[in-house]
């Protein structure tokens, strides 16, 4: 489905509407036409939409939602609370100050993580190049099973 646009003929100066991308003038059939921008037609709708948005946010007690207004963010971004206590634990390159008695925690890394690597032809990217140990260095083999042929 296309968009209907208003065009003006550059030959006879008549305005007309068309669904085509480069139409011919219906009166003189000239193809020298120019698009006439009509502007946005949502001025009245957007005000009522903002009012409905605010009413719904108030009804459902969603006080952290915002409409798109100039100088106002659409979502309030809260920074995580500062870390208090905990001891640094190393998780194979990532160090985080965790509290073992606090349960599951989502914390930022305490050390600077930099995974810049140089890719070269014929050389695989191992764990050592990325600043973290490779998977093979911490993998242990407990047993193996090979069926007899």
Which of 108, 119, 115, 56 is closest to 82 using CA atoms?
108
DSSP 8-state class, residue 128: G
pLDDT tens-place values along the chain, 149 residues long: 578 888 999 999 999 999 888 899 999 988 899 988 876 555 566 667 778 888 888 898 887 776 666 666 666 667 666 556 677 877 777 777 887 777 777 777 777 777 676 777 877 665 555 555 666 676 777 777 788 87
- Map out the domains of the chain as residue ranges: 5-36, 85-114
Q: Beta strand 87-91 with 5-9: parallel, antiparallel or unpaired?
A: unpaired
Q: What is the 3-state secondary structure (H, E, C) of 48-75?
A: HHHHHHHHHHHHCCCCCECCCCCCCCCE
In contact, 96 and 107? CB cutoff 8 Å: yes
């Amino acid at each position: 489905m296309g968009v209907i646009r208003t065009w003006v003929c550059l030959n006879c100066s008549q305005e007309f509407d068309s669904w085509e991308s480069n139409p011919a003038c219906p009166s003189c059939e000239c193809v020298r036409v120019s698009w006439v921008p009509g502007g946005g037609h949502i001025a009245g709708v957007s005000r009522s939409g903002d009012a409905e948005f605010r009413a719904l946010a108030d009804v459902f007690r969603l006080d952290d939602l915002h409409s798109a207004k100039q100088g106002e963010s659409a979502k309030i971004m809260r920074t995580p609370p500062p870390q208090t206590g905990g001891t640094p634990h190393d998780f194979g390159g990532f160090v985080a100050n965790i509290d073992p008695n606090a349960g599951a925690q989502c914390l930022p890394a305490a050390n600077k993580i930099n995974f810049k690597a140089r890719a070269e032809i014929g050389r695989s990217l191992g764990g050592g190049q990325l600043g973290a140990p490779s998977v093979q260095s911490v993998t242990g083999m407990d047993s193996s099973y090979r069926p007899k042929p």
